[in-house]
Structure 1
């Protein structure tokens, strides 16, 4: 299992619209992708224009190749991209340990 972590910054004052857009993009586009295994979105308290999106993928290639090189990626970016103040910072992680 691979964790994709995307640190997203949006334009000020667009939180309500972005909240709807990211949920739509996740349910309509990303959740249909090969290897998709779940997601979580956290919204900043001190920085309300900051969002942390975590997506679980079966393999790294499910995100970096299967999704990123597909038409679905363009759909996703068309839905959420207009709100970005800067390109998201995206990194991938392997699970080291977890609690029950």
Structure 2
């Protein structure tokens, strides 16, 4: 299993609109081959409430990229969500080495 971690800096004042758009967009990612689960979390400190982190569990890196990232669903995902990010997103993949989710 691979954990994708995406840091999503949402434009200040756009948080509610982003969350509403994500509520719809999450259906796209959940339907992708190799998808396992996801979680969207928001900064809880007073200075980072516009910062989100998306955690997505995939069967493999390839399920995410090129799989999802080269799909028609990803193009729709981008249209729905990427307008909210400023300056841009950072994405990295991780493999579990210890803990309850280790394969």
- Whether the TM-score (by the shorter chain) exceeds 0.5 is yes
Counterpart position of 2:29:
30
Structure 1 stretches of 4+ moved >2 Å = none
CA drift at 1:23? 2.0
1:63 corresponding residue in structure 2? 64
Q: Structure 2 matches for 1:1-100, cutoff 5 A?
A: 1-27=1-27, 29-46=28-45, 47-99=48-100
Unmatched segments (≥5 aa) in structure 1: none
- In the alignment, the residues of structure 2 paired with residue 64 and residue 77 of structure 1 have an alpha-carbon distance, to the nearest angstrom, of 14
C-alpha displacement of 1:71: 1.2
Distance in structure 1 (CA, Å) of the matches to 2:19 and 2:82: 13
Unaligned runs of 5+ in 2: none
* 1:99 to partner: Cα distance: 4.3
Within 2, Cα distance between the matches of 1:77 and 1:2? 22
DSSP-derived class of the 1:12 partner: coil
Give 1:72 shift.
Answer: 1.0
**TM-score of the superposition, structure 1-length normalised?**
0.93
Describe the shift of the 1:87–1:97 C-alpha distance in structure 2 as closer, same or farther (beyond 3 A). Answer: same
Q: Secondary structure at the match of 2:4?
A: strand
Q: Distance in 1 between matches of 2:5 and 2:95?
A: 11
